[in-house]
Amino acid sequence: MAEEKAVGAPALDTNIETGGFDEKRGQAPHPTHAHKAPLAEDEEPDEDMDALIEDLESQDGHEIDDEEETQPGGGRVVPEDQLQTDSRVGLTEAEVLARRKKWGINAMKEEKENLVLKFLMFFVGPIQFVMEAAAVLAAGLEDWIDFGVICALLLLNACVGFIQEFQAGSIVEELKKTLALKAVVLRDGTLKEIEAPEVVPGDILQVEEGTIIPADGRFVTEGCFCQVDQSAITGESLAVDKHHGDNCYASSAVKRGEAFVIVTATGDNTFVGRAAALVSQSAGGTGHFTEVLNGIGTILLVLVVATLLVVWVSSFYRSNGIVDILRFTLAITIVGVPVGLPAVVTTTMAVGAAYLAKKQAIVQKLSAIESLAGVEILCSDKTGTLTKNKLSLAEPFCVAGVEPDDLMLTACLAASRKKKGIDAIDKAFLKALKFYPRAKGVLSKYKVLDFHPFDPVSKKVQAVVESPQGERIICVKGAPLFVLKTVEEDHPIPEEIDSAYKNCVAEFATRGFRSLGVARKRGEGAWEILGIMPCSDPPRHDTARTINEAKRLGLSIKMLTGDAVGIARETSRQLGLGTNVYNAERLGLGGGGDMPGSEVYDFVEAADGFAEVFPQHKYNVVEILQQRGYLVAMTGDGVNDAPSLKKADTGIAVEGAS
């Protein structure tokens, strides 16, 4: 009897027609009764989902307390004795002042650019030097027309370039101001909200869903479980589980859970601060176009000097006067060097920068426009650049006899109805309901009697609900094999179902999906295994088209990501980048791993991408390609991309960059 229930599990009383969605077409190894639906747009409004959650909350009669009581536990490397803060009181104001004096504010030091020096640098260069020498000669000969024209060209070049780059810098500074963070700390026994730069080592931070962690720290709450999004730092698209004693990093975001964290590093001593130090060590270079112009200027300068030597020698033998010699010198200097070139080039690039500004692109260095036009290889971060950095559901695997609607409804019943800081996975399930409009309508008719959030031990989320007909149902979703074990402990599972289920789990894992098993128990009946819902961070809707267009223009693209090899390879395959994606360990942090000589250059050049990379790996890949003579661009949105963004000939920080 139990086996019959497992084979053909009766549907919940929803009276729903089968819906469907296909975020990634054709990815289910065993799709059952699933119809195709159009792809969603890249940016989907959340208003409908918020309204749905509010509706579900009003229907439940079971409220989840947002203010659950939580007890706190408990670089220049901060000494351990300074991390023994009284967990009931926190730091006192006197301790805060002493530590701030020793460790400074929680902000990275920024070198202020000397604007006068920046302006004067526009007068530096081989062509500019020749023009300046010509201006001096013209003044000495009282040729004020030539003097005025040359000075006007020099000033035009400097003013246009300086104003454009100054405006771009001002826009970036304004953007930084909008990102000011707050922090909730325990001081003198009281929780208070302060500005993030006021945090000091040893502070006890309270973090919860939605909190942006302002400094490096360590979880100190006994038995805590949080999920933290570290994609801006490591490039991992999926949230990372954190428990008591685990470390967390500045700029990462808490996606689930609530806990206390003791600050272990601030400012330049954080992981982000050390990445910034690597950026400062990276020589920004003058840019390819500037190098070309300087090369042309140097060659012309040499030719002018050689010509002048001939003129001076011949004038000496002809006994020409000094004034005549100087006039010859001025004429040859003006004729031999294109004095209008810097002004023309700068003005042209400023027009290009203004055009890009209309496209919401900020150009911080004018020379980057030409460098971008000459790029041969583009190295791109994956998470948030090629992909949405938002979990979405792929085509589900349904056990024989189970409708996809049933699977989706059960999974959504086992989802949090807590609007504040809703879990990314639950959000993905609720968003997918738009492909099942009737299921969405029926969902609110089920009353939640009891809800148990994700348990890191059992690896499951469990909800006890009551159907509109008054039937009591236990809904479970979680790690596929743990969900399967729950059913197996109740009754044996038919071999064909067990085999198909486990094969599907293995295939999804190989392809880099995070899979969730779904099961339920109706009344006093047996547990029923329903199927598997695969989750992933899907590509942006326009990424594949953009990549194809870039390839058509002769651009080679390599993907660099902190995600696992399976996830990276699957994303690369979907985007048509190729599947020659390797673990960055083969490179080693020094750039060549165990590979000798030029072999590492050939290896990097032939690869379609690298997975599980650290910032140093990205930096090394860019450097190796540059040493091969390629012009390299780098795109990214996270702190882990900063060193390679600066090292590249053209660095492109995408929308939403941290």
Annotated domain spans of the chain: 2-67+391-536, 80-99+183-280, 115-176+285-354, 364-387+563-653
Q: For the chain, how many residues are written? A: 658
Confidence of residue 59 (pLDDT cuts 50, 70, 90): low
pLDDT digits (tens, 9 = 90+) for 359-383: 767 676 777 777 777 889 999 888 7
Token pair of 636 as six digits? 């990214």
pLDDT at 20 over 50: no
- Report helix angle 288-318 to 341-358, nearest 10: 170
Output the pTM of the full model: 0.64
Assign domain 80-99+183-280 to a CATH class: mainly beta
Higher per-residue confidence, 106 vs 9: 106
The whole-number pLDDT of residue 385 equals 80
The whole-number pLDDT of residue 261 equals 92
3-state secondary structure of 204: strand
Q: Which residue has the tokens 């990634």?
A: 24
Active site includes 641?
A: no
Parallel/antiparallel/unpaired status of strands 397-398 and 527-536: antiparallel
Q: Which amino acid is at 625?
A: L
Confidence of residue 1 (pLDDT cuts 50, 70, 90): very low
Give mean pLDDT, residues 528-553.
Answer: 87
What sign has the CA pseudo-torsion 354, 357, 363, 368? negative
pLDDT at 9 over 70: no
Confidence of residue 292 (pLDDT cuts 50, 70, 90): confident
What mean pLDDT is reported for the chain? 77
pLDDT digits (tens, 9 = 90+) for 471-515: 899 999 988 888 998 898 888 888 888 899 989 888 888 777 888
pLDDT at 5 over 80: no
The whole-number pLDDT of residue 474 equals 92
512: left (phi over 0), alpha (psi -120 to 50) or beta: left
The domain 2-67+391-536 is placed in CATH, from the list 3.40.50.150, 3.40.1110.10, 3.40.30.10, 3.40.50.12780, at 3.40.1110.10
Confidence of residue 3 (pLDDT cuts 50, 70, 90): very low
The whole-number pLDDT of residue 406 equals 84
- Tell me how far apart the alpha carbons of residues 419 and 71 are, in angstroms, rounded to a whole number: 23
Catalytic residue among 143, 216, 229, 381: 381
Nearest to 573 by CA among 528, 633, 513: 513
The CATH homologous superfamily to which domain 364-387+563-653 belongs is HAD superfamily/HAD-like (3.40.50.1000)
The secondary structure of the chain in percent helix, strand, coil, rounded to multiples of 5, reads 45, 20, 40
